[in-house]
Amino acid sequence: MRPPLWPVLSVIVCPPVGPWSELRGIRPSRVWPEDIRVIARAEAERLELPDYDLWLFDSRTLVRMHIDESDTTIGVELINDPDRVLAACRARDAATAAARPTVEVWAHTTSRDH
């Protein structure tokens, strides 16, 4: 039985700088397949995507991450409100359509960009 594909999408500054440039070497797992994509922060703002980290586990459960200025997770919020979950699903779909595979982004990023 083949494991499910886990989509992972990150909003980044383009070209990738700082800690984001460390993602350059990440490749999808062969054991647990992932679809790793990135979207530029400017594009995320244009699409009016949420300005917080979130996880969607299914079409009924949203987890909003609360992260402080030092990138430390200080809490999580489990959300089951159908309207908020639907809004997050729509944001995910818009982001996924606009995002590019990580390996494609890195192929167009020179070593001086990070």
Would you list the domain boundaries of the chain?
A: 6-105
- Which long-range contacts link 23-31 to residues 24+ away (Cβ below 8 Å)? 23/102, 24/106, 24/109, 24/114, 26/102, 27/103, 31/3
Residues 6+ apart with CB under 8 A from 40: 11, 12, 13, 14
Q: What per-residue confidence (pLDDT) applies to 57?
A: 78
Tens digits of residue pLDDT in 87-110 = 999 998 998 888 888 777 777 665
Residue 114 to residue 82: CA distance in whole angstroms: 40
pTM (predicted TM-score): 0.70
